[in-house]
Amino acid sequence: MKPKLINSIEEMSVIRKQLKGKIGFVPTMGFLHEGHLSLVKEAKKKTDVVIVSIFVNPTQFSANEDLSTYPRNIERDIELLTNLEVDYIFFPTNEQMYPDDFKTWVNVDKITQVLCGKSRPTHFRGVTTIVAKLINIIDPDLIFMGEKDFQQLVVLKQMIKDLNFRTDIVGCSIVREKDGLALSSRNKYLSSSGRKKALCLNKSLLLAQKLYNEGLTSSNEIISQMTNLIENNECIIDYIEVFDPKTLEHIPELVGGCRIALAVIVENTRLIDNIKIV
Amino acid sequence: MKPKLINSIEEMSVIRKQLKGKIGFVPTMGFLHEGHLSLVKEAKKKTDVVIVSIFVNPTQFSANEDLSTYPRNIERDIELLTNLEVDYIFFPTNEQMYPDDFKTWVNVDKITQVLCGKSRPTHFRGVTTIVAKLINIIDPDLIFMGEKDFQQLVVLKQMIKDLNFRTDIVGCSIVREKDGLALSSRNKYLSSSGRKKALCLNKSLLLAQKLYNEGLTSSNEIISQMTNLIENNECIIDYIEVFDPKTLEHIPELVGGCRIALAVIVENTRLIDNIKIV
């Protein structure tokens, strides 16, 4: 059966009140790929009713970013979600989500200032604000999000805990192409040679794990070798960071369970990826 | 029957899930007076289950304010709420509400920068954050708040609308002593001569209404006459403002439905009051 399409907050709220059982929610910006679909599949397994939102959230883009060109294909998204037997697709308008007199923001301190927050200083404020709104509209028992945006996951878990939202986030593993490239809607921007260069993100993370397996633990030394690998592929590093997965604080020596994340500009496209060191 | 006392967020959440009917919520900082009790009475009329919170919220006080001396009397509060047949009293600890790793804030722009926001720049951030938390914990259908803190009412309504919280605020009229002084827990700080001087707040607001009735509409002229009245009572004006009740923006000419609010320092105590011009 085709999912019910809902494009008004009002209608979503009315429908939500009538829903019974455990509600699973997958927030997306559309242009769905297997990464998103893995979240939907996980939601189908763990909850009774699955709601997917499609909303390209303007407040998480800064003025110099790719809001206007961000890829969209709502028809294809609906088809993919129909195949997975999603129950509801919520795709509100900008005007409804951010009316002219909108003036409320949710801010998480500290952990939004590091990693991606350094080069995208207002990004997480947009993410936390839209997710707070979506939580209130959809009232989900569980929210399913990918670990590719690892910092986003940590920031949103902090928000949910601090503001006592009655929901929880399930983090799901990164989905990759066969050659290792992490799926991202932004991969679409890459030329075929850029597509090959972009493999350096995952390769450098695998190199870090290999170096750690061989006994190297110095974060600086490992980051240095990752840097060489990436720069040899003509890509520009925004950051590479070794950190504690709970606090997102830099750690000088790798330990099992720590994370390494990076943002790299390939052609004109900023891509991110990360790995849990085991 | 005595209200059930709840001092843990966890317990409050568990109990809330079992409650049926319309839930009314009165958030307070304790040291209850007839103003608070009027909110409880209104809640009893309009809802099926009434929950009162008592929590002196540290984040809405700045370092130079009266957090440590803010009056408290939990036993008396419980007695007063028992008399009114309140169902639940929620009084969480600071440590639960703001654990060491707390880092999330709700900010409302613009309307928190005017009026009381000018001299209390972090006050409303504390108010919006604690109320967002309490809404999530208590999940009320209606929240009852007094119009004495008129700006607070407007700010919280904006937050609820912007973040799509599934609740609404009922604003209740200011309760005054027979001589016109608006009830406030902070009136306790006044000496008997300060108590008399403090009447100038309400008197100056009544003067404004009288001048408007007589045909005067210039905000500047009316504020000037209010200023004289207050300064003649040896009180220090923080602000007097004539504004639109929705936007809180200054208006140069009084019109029916506009508000006048003021903050005045009497002895060492900052008091507020306001009036709707009719």
Determine the Cα–Cα distance for residues A122 and A128; give it in Å rounded to an integer: 10
Residues of B in contact with A165 (CB under 8 A): 136
pLDDT of residue B129: 98
pLDDT of residue B254: 98
Residue type, B239: Y
The verdict on a CB contact (< 8 Å) between B105 and A107 is: yes
pLDDT of residue A45: 98
Q: Å from B209 to nearest chain A CA?
A: 30
Size of interface A-B (CB pairs under 8 A): 73
Per-residue pLDDT of chain B in tens (278 residues, 90 and over written 9)? 899 999 999 999 999 999 999 999 999 999 999 999 999 999 999 999 999 999 999 999 999 999 999 999 999 999 999 999 999 999 999 999 999 999 999 999 999 999 999 999 999 999 999 999 999 999 999 999 999 999 999 999 999 999 999 999 999 999 999 999 999 999 999 999 999 999 999 999 999 999 999 999 999 999 999 999 999 999 999 999 999 999 999 999 999 999 999 999 999 999 999 999 99
pLDDT of residue A123: 97
Burial of B1 (0-12, 13-18, 19+ CB in 10 A): exposed
Phi/psi of residue B231, nearest 5 degrees: -65, -30
pLDDT of residue B1: 83
The verdict on a CB contact (< 8 Å) between B136 and A110 is: no
The verdict on a CB contact (< 8 Å) between B104 and A158 is: yes
Alpha-helical (H) ranges within chain A are 9-18, 34-46, 74-83, 94-97, 116-119, 123-138, 150-162, 192-197, 199-213, 219-231
Model-level ipTM above the cut of 0.95: yes
Determine the Cα–Cα distance for residues A182 and A262; give it in Å rounded to an integer: 12
Residues of A in contact with B107 (CB under 8 A): 104-107
Residue type, A126: G
Residue type, B1: M
pLDDT of residue A42: 98
Chunk chain A into consecutive blocks of 10 residues (it has 278) and report each block's average pLDDT, rounded to whole numbers.
95 97 98 98 98 98 93 97 98 98 98 97 98 98 98 98 98 98 96 98 98 98 98 98 97 98 97 98
What is the CB neighbour count within 10 angstroms for residue A133? 23
Residues of A in contact with B102 (CB under 8 A): 162
pLDDT of residue B29: 98
Among partner residues B13, B110, B164, which is closest to A9 by beta-carbon distance? B164
Determine the Cα–Cα distance for residues B184 and B36; give it in Å rounded to an integer: 9
Q: Å from A107 to nearest chain B CA?
A: 5
Among partner residues B9, B103, B165, which is closest to A110 by beta-carbon distance? B103
Q: Which domains does chain A have, with CATH numbers?
A: 4-172 (3.40.50.620), 185-273 (3.30.1300.10)
